[in-house]
Amino acid sequence: MRREWLVEPLAPEVERALDRLARADDVAAIAVLPDVHLSDEVCVGVAVATRRRLIPAALGGDLGCGMEALRLGGDADLLRDPQVRARVLDGLRRAVPARMQRGGTGPPVLPEPLRGRLAASPACTRRLERDAAREFATLGRGNHFLELQRDEEGALWLAVHSGSRALGPALGAFHRRSAPRDRAGFEGLDAESDAGRAFLADVALACDFAAASRAAMVDATCAVLSEQLGVAPEPASRIACVHNCVRRETLGGEEFWIHRKGAMPAAAGEAGVVPGSMGTLTFHVEGRGCADALHSSAHGAGRALPRGEARRRIAPRELLRQMRGVGFDEALARALVEEAPSAYKDVRAVMRAQRELVKVVRTLTPLLVHKGA
């Protein structure tokens, strides 16, 4: 069974990728979400249900990628002054680096809940203890971002989108190397085998790393904003969601493994965050629990242009025009053209296409964006 919630007709290459996925062993249902676009073997913007088989390609490389949002105890007008925005952005660049942390007097140390965790592969455990520790609480590049936003009532909000950095892809690659392929060419693991249990443990490790990393970036941002604006976070407002993961869920009285690649869980009442692109609206939502959509929704706007095409078609001057009124590091304009709003679908159209999947709780407008390049 395949159900679709679309902004526009599927491109032929997307249709072919979905047809191939439907032929994979043990695939019981596929939900195609309005942010769907081509990416490697399995499209971004897809949820897949299996009964027993785990399909690593259906999770994406950045295991645990997700979002965290938090209301800050202050008025968004505090960022109206361009000089204030510039000082805040400078503080964020120092407090939340985009790339690997360097310096210090000794080897990097992970926070206590992650310390001593072992991956299935000794090489991945070494990566966790070395590279992942240096990448902890760093933003990354691509579509990852940290953004200050204004809600309809003028309140100031923070949103962070990041993942497991190099750890997630390394864990996924390790398990795919040893997994047998099915008739459609996808690697798969029996969830009840030792290999399947090891894969699930490593997915949980990547998700825990990514969530702790986002929380640390939120704390670092709140410290900057306390110093610069005199505002404090409101912990009860926190929203957290994950985009690239697999979990056991019940649909229609039957249990399935629900794989999500660039898709957000949207069970009835489940809170989530659906961002647009750099410089466009973000929506806080509650899931409606649509079983046909595998209790899932779009995780964002979804790309309209592949990165290479965006670099060819969008000039830095055009990015600056599209970002007018939103603060960001304009020195990075040339490097960030592939993240321009016009490189993505219209997030408002995405939200209209998935009205039966989520309910909009809050609409937020961007004020200041921190991204890596």
Catalytic residue among 37, 243, 299, 370: 299
Q: DSSP characters for 319-335? A: HHHHTTTSB--GGGTTT
Burial degree of 61 (CB within 10 A; 0-12, 13-18, 19+): buried
The amino acid present at 231, given as its one-letter code, is V
Question: 209, 114 in Cβ contact below 8 A?
Answer: yes
**Which residue is associated with the tokens 């992970």?**
110
Whole-angstrom Cα distance, residue 362 to residue 318?
A: 29
Q: Which residues contact 331 (CB under 8 A, 6 or more apart)?
A: none
Question: 299, 161 in Cβ contact below 8 A?
Answer: no
> Is 299 considered catalytic here?
yes
Q: How many CB atoms lie within 10 A of CB 187?
A: 19
Among 282, 241, 238, 286, CA closest to 260: 241
Burial degree of 54 (CB within 10 A; 0-12, 13-18, 19+): buried
Q: Which residues contact 53 (CB under 8 A, 6 or more apart)?
A: 25, 26, 188, 189, 190, 191, 257
Q: Where are the alpha helices (DSSP H) in the chain?
A: 12-22, 82-95, 122-127, 133-135, 167-178, 194-229, 307-313, 316-322, 347-353
Whole-angstrom Cα distance, residue 200 to residue 211?
A: 16
**Which residue is associated with the tokens 């489940």?**
270
CA distances, 17 to each of 38, 172, 184 (Å): 8, 20, 11
Question: 272, 264 in Cβ contact below 8 A?
Answer: yes
Whole-angstrom Cα distance, residue 268 to residue 248?
A: 16
Which active-site residues does the annotation give? 299
